[in-house]
Structure 1
Amino acid sequence: MKTTITLSIACLLACSGFMYSQAPGEWMSLFDGKTLNGWKVGKNADTFSVQDGAIVVAGPTAHLFYEGPVGNHSFKNFEWKAQVKTMPGSNSGMFIHTAFQEGGWPAQGYEIQVNQSHTDWRKTGSVYGVQDVKETFVKDDEWYTEDITVQGKQVTVKINDKVINTYTEPDSLTNSTIKRRLSRGTVALQGHDPKSKVLYKDIMIRILPD
């Protein structure tokens, strides 16, 4: 009996590990729609809450990092997407290849901009400060899909399934941008400022082959 129970537990753990290692190309949810389980925030944690199946970002500057089991929260090549809604004058961002920080702007990885009408001229889909977009493709107060694919040295951003920005990282980078590069890391959502309110739901990722 003891041997049977032990084998059953081992099988359950193995199946669970397989689920979270996930086969390349399989979509996995990073957000359960009810809690922030699997996510971690340092300072100003109250900036993030869950309401009506969405992560609501509203408050002082803060960043919410995925630290859950999918891919052991360390991604190299992947596609990450979410349904997003911005309120008028709001600013946010979706970070890739980043790492948890207690506070401040993330030093590692790239920010993919979320902004239709904030005063910052870098609009939704910008690879922030590296390859920026000036045009807006969606309106505030409407749900849209923001999709980010990282494959090797290339980042592709789609808005409502339309490619609006493709950035290829150069082979050599200056010392000042050494951390702002494609490597491996987790993903994160940005709380920009107290006047910005942005909602995220249906947050999904799929790991792509190396």
Structure 2
Amino acid sequence: MRNLLLTIGCMCLFFVAAAQNSREQWVSLFNGRDLKGWKQLNGKAKYEVKDGAIVGTTVSDEPNSFLATEKNYTDFILELEFMVDPSMNSGIQFRSESRADYMNGRVHGYQMEIDPSKRSWSGGIYDEARRLWLYSLEYNEKGKSAFKNNQWNHYRIECLGKTVRTFVNGIPTAHLEDSMLTSGFIALQVHSIGKNDLPGKQIKWRNIRIQSTNLLPKKAEPIFIVNLNPNSLSAEEKAQGVRLLWNGIDTKGWRGAHKDKFPEKGWQIQNGVLSVLPGGGGESTNGGDIVTEEEFSAFELQFEFRITSGANSGVKYFVTENEQSSGSAIGLEYQVLDDEKHPDAKMGVVGNRTMASLYDLIPSLKMDQAKRKPGEWNKGMIRVYPDNRIEHFLNGYKVVEYQRGTPIYYALVARSKYANWKDFGMAPKGHILLQDHGDAVDYRSIKVRSMK
């Protein structure tokens, strides 16, 4: 009987393994001998096969170079290994294109970042020659430690419909929900270097394989999700406690600051966008600010915004409405501003009234890569931790970091326009506010979750 049970057990394991193998239909994209099935696009970096690996070598004064698959892929799981010179930058393109009608054939599309620098954004998702950073590793601090310098690293990319997930050495690094593009080639990037830069730096790729049928996503610890589908929540976001703070349809959950109902003028809801209407540039003189009916303490607030040329607005938090003001309601403010054309950007101290700053207190880091032009959507985020640490994010960059209630915080308040407001910004909870500063500004995808 014992031998019979052992035989049955072995047969079960065999059939389970066989079923698993039948589902995981891996296809090799690199035969280990030559570059059959690949084509080079854009720059003239050198690609060759050595010791069973594809080797990419930098060439001075050349644009980004890409070794692309001749075949396009829609839904797939891609795995590969690479080793990169620690002083290089590179990436794996996927769902990417090269068209004559777009920037003269420049490769554009999603890229899983290879970043051996101290920034440690390996595994993030960059939108090459298009929307720039979609998912930086500032959203996922734990993921920063997954990449190993001077070693072979394992990358995994899952593209299933609108969902894109990346893994570095088995650790989840990015989770993106986006429907902009669903098909394209895969490509190995050798980043450009200047004419005075030392050429000859190398990156090697091997064991490149793909699945395009019977796809099974990897079970992994949940991480922060960037959802670029307007006013929507994925099932994974809901499971993490994320909810819409504005439903994209009506004024439910919002009212005018110091009022019991939503303003009758100055605001507009159209096509899933909540807009401040132009009103001459005055502070809270048209429709007035709007606030959430709900109050928040420790929270993570996500929002997308789009400014017009010369516009001014802001997202405030810990607004109590206890203070009376001739202008906007009082609270800590994430500045929303056209830094190039609005005069407020030149006021204050050391730039503490520029885009994404803690208004009149702390300037945002000067990162030109984080800014978008007027008319383009920006992704903002405010994180408030239970210990009163607070962070501002702009398009994937962490641009402000501080802690309420510290001596430094009180010193900053003392030299600001809020010096005479008792306990400014120190309320244990408060409303979230969108500011009417008399300029046309759009908001959408306003989401919140508790950080407790």
TM-score of the pair, normalised by structure 1: 0.76
Q: Which amino acid aligns with 1:147?
A: M
Partner of 1:3: none
Closer, same or farther: CA 131–208 of 1 in aligned 2, 3 Å: same
> Structure 1 CA distance, aligned partners of 2:395 and 2:254?
25
Q: Which has the higher contact order (CA 8 A, sep 6+)?
A: 1
Partner of 1:36: 251
Q: Deviations over 1:91-150 (max 9, x none)?
A: 10001111347973213x201100123221122211111112374522211011000011
TM-score of the pair, normalised by structure 2: 0.37
> Structure 2 CA distance, aligned partners of 1:25 and 1:147?
16
- State the SS of the aligned residue for 1:120: helix
Partner of 2:289: 63
Higher Rg: 2
Q: Which amino acid aligns with 2:372?
A: V
Q: Name structure 1 gaps, 5 residues minimum.
A: 1-22, 68-72
Q: Which amino acid aligns with 2:364?
A: V
Pairwise mapping of residues 124-203 of structure 1 onto structure 2 (< 5 A)? 124-133=355-364, 135=366, 137-151=371-385, 152-171=387-406, 173=410, 176-182=420-426, 183-193=428-438, 196-203=439-446
Q: Name structure 2 gaps, 5 residues minimum.
A: 1-237, 346-352
CA contact (8 A) 2:365 2:399 kept: no
> Structure 1 CA distance, aligned partners of 2:365 and 2:382?
18
* % identical equivalent positions: 22
- Picking from 16, 26, 47, the partner of 2:266 is 47
- In the alignment, does 2:327 pair up with 1:104? yes
Closer, same or farther: CA 178–197 of 1 in aligned 2, 3 Å: same
- In the alignment, does 2:304 pair up with 1:83? yes
CA contact (8 A) 2:250 2:269 kept: yes
Q: Which amino acid aligns with 1:66?
A: T
Report the alpha carbon displacement of residue 155 of structure 1 after superposing the two structures with TM.
1.6
Q: Which amino acid aligns with 2:275?
A: V
Partner of 1:18: none
Report the alpha carbon displacement of residue 24 of structure 1 after superposing the two structures with TM.
10
> Structure 2 CA distance, aligned partners of 1:65 and 1:24?
26
Q: Deviations over 1:6-41 (max 9, x none)?
A: xxxxxxxxxxxxxxxxx9951010111111111001
Closer, same or farther: CA 78–186 of 1 in aligned 2, 3 Å: same
Q: Which moved more, 1:154-163 or 1:98-107?
A: 98-107
CA contact (8 A) 1:65 1:99 kept: no
> Structure 1 CA distance, aligned partners of 2:406 and 2:365?
26
Q: Which amino acid aligns with 1:127?
A: L
> Structure 2 CA distance, aligned partners of 1:29 and 1:134?
28
Q: Which amino acid aligns with 1:47?
A: G
> Structure 1 CA distance, aligned partners of 2:449 and 2:395?
18
Q: How many residues align?
A: 179
